């Protein structure tokens, strides 16, 4: 089963999505699929399948952004401070109890024969408790907490491994997936509980990266104080896999690496022919380790693509379904407007 099988709670008025996965070259890919479409292929479902990781990381990015809101950040910092103080008190108490127990064991050993493994165990536990106490004596700084809360990748790693899976349910409620958007509820009251769990797990003491870009969204306050967040969503076929794209300001778009590589090869191979490094396509085939002349000819044809089409591919904004196969299944028209019509680009 997918790690995230309990993450999505789809509103009942929409088709239910259920977790599943596929394997490709030994790698597991998790998805949420329309359960009605699985039962009946004639059933119309606006969202037949959606990658689990893309959807969940979009939610985590919004969660990291929500922590930056001044009012929420203030309450979160307060919750972390209270939890750290409680941990310090508990740790101090544990050290005193273990020290007392170890002292009693040593005194008993002077009068009677005892199990020295018990003494070793008590000494080890005391050492560990003292080490933990030393770490807690210096409170986590406000800057460290803010950096940790803004680290979406760090939040993802903290919240999703195995036993911690239930943490996401502290703050995320109903999720609705539409063809062009995602809408979900963030339970603000759960943020303080989540922050406390982070303090217990040592999350704030770990190194953290830069704050992630937050996808653009609409936020609506609900009657119970929770927040419904709605984000635009695009779906794109990347390397044969459907991916979800959540637009974010300045974020890098998903790109088809095989198509980018093919365009780069087309340019490089043409340069080899022009500068005489290769005499012809047959010679080029030999130099490239036996790639067929037919394949090389198809890739070379990409050099005739209109500049704006190439720019769109390089930027990751090409039309849905554009691929090497689609571009090379038939001769590329010489007329650039004909290319745009054929491949789904707006005419100029």
Mapped to the 3 state alphabet, what secondary structure does 279-296 carry? CCHHHHHHHCCCCCHHHH
pLDDT above 50 (res 347): yes
In the structure, what pLDDT confidence band is assigned to residue 309 with cuts at 50, 70 and 90?
very high
pLDDT at 9: 43
Count Cβ atoms within 10 A of the Cβ of residue 113 and give its class: 0-12 exposed, 13-18 middle, 19 or more buried: exposed
pTM (predicted TM-score): 0.55
Question: In this structure, are residues 172 and 182 in contact, taking their beta carbons and an 8 Å threshold?
Answer: no
Q: What is the mean pLDDT of the chain?
A: 79
pLDDT at 297: 94
Question: In this structure, are residues 186 and 222 in contact, taking their beta carbons and an 8 Å threshold?
Answer: no
Question: In this structure, are residues 213 and 249 in contact, taking their beta carbons and an 8 Å threshold?
Answer: yes
Work out the average pLDDT over 24-39: 70
Q: Which of 31-35, 105-109, 150-154 has the lowest mean pLDDT?
A: 31-35
Lookup: tokens for 321: 């379904």
Question: In this structure, are residues 144 and 76 in contact, taking their beta carbons and an 8 Å threshold?
Answer: no
Cite the beta strand spans of 145-239 per DSSP E: 172-177, 181-186, 217-221, 227-232, 234-238
In the structure, what pLDDT confidence band is assigned to residue 44 with cuts at 50, 70 and 90?
low
pLDDT above 70 (res 294): yes
Residue given tokens 């036993």 in the structure block: 163
| Of the ranges 166-175, 245-254, 258-267, the best mean pLDDT one | 258-267
Whole-angstrom distance, CA of residue 210 vs CA of residue 311: 29
Residue given tokens 């980018």 in the structure block: 260
pLDDT at 240: 64
Question: In this structure, are residues 187 and 226 in contact, taking their beta carbons and an 8 Å threshold?
Answer: yes
Taking CA atoms, 201 is separated from 84, 144, 164, 206, 266, in Å, by: 11, 15, 10, 10, 51
Q: Which residues pair with 34 in a beta bridge?
A: 17
Q: Which residues pair with 198 in a beta bridge?
A: none
Number of Cβ atoms within 10 Å of the Cβ of 194:
23
Whole-angstrom distance, CA of residue 145 vs CA of residue 76: 9
In the structure, what pLDDT confidence band is assigned to residue 176 with cuts at 50, 70 and 90?
confident
Q: Do β-strands 227-232 and 217-221 pair in parallel, antiparallel, or remain unpaired?
A: antiparallel
pLDDT above 60 (res 76): yes
pLDDT above 60 (res 11): no
pLDDT at 87: 85
pLDDT tens track for 109-131: 877 877 778 888 888 898 888 88
pLDDT at 10: 42
Whole-angstrom distance, CA of residue 171 vs CA of residue 187: 5
């Amino acid at each position: 089963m997918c790690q995230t099988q309990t993450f999505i709670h789809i509103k009942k008025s929409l088709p239910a999505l259920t977790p599943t996965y596929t394997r490709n070259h030994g790698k597991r890919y998790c998805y949420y699929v329309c359960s009605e479409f699985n039962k009946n292929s004639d059933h119309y479902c606006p969202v037949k399948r959606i990658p689990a990781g893309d959807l969940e990381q979009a939610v985590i990015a919004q969660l990291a952004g929500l922590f930056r809101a001044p009012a929420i950040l203030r309450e979160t910092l307060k919750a972390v401070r209270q939890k750290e103080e409680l941990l310090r008190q508990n740790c101090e108490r544990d050290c005193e109890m273990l020290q007392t127990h170890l002292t009693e064991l040593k005194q008993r050993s002077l009068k009677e024969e005892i199990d020295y493994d018990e003494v070793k165990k008590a000494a080890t536990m005391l050492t560990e408790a003292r080490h933990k106490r030393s770490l807690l004596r210096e409170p986590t700084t406000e800057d460290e907490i803010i950096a940790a809360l803004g680290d979406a990748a760090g939040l993802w790693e903290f919240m999703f491994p195995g036993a911690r899976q239930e943490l996401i349910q502290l703050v995320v409620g109903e999720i609705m997936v539409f063809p062009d958007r995602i809408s979900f509820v963030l339970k603000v009251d759960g943020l303080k509980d989540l922050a406390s769990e982070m303090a217990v797990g040592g999350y704030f003491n770990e190194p953290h990266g830069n704050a992630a870009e937050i996808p653009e969204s609409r936020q609506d306050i609900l009657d119970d104080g929770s927040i419904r967040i709605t984000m635009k969503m695009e779906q794109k076929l990347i390397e044969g896999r459907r991916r979800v794209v959540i637009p974010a300001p300045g974020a890098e778009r998903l790109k088809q690496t095989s198509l980018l590589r093919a365009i780069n090869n087309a340019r490089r191979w043409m340069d080899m022919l022009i500068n005489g490094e290769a005499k012809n396509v047959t010679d080029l085939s030999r130099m490239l380790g036996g790639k067929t002349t037919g394949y090389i000819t198809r890739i070379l044809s990409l050099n005739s693509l209109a500049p704006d089409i190439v720019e769109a591919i390089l930027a990751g904004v090409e039309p849905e379904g554009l691929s090497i196969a689609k571009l090379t299944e038939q001769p590329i028209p010489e007329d650039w407007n004909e290319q745009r019509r054929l491949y789904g680009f707006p005419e100029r």
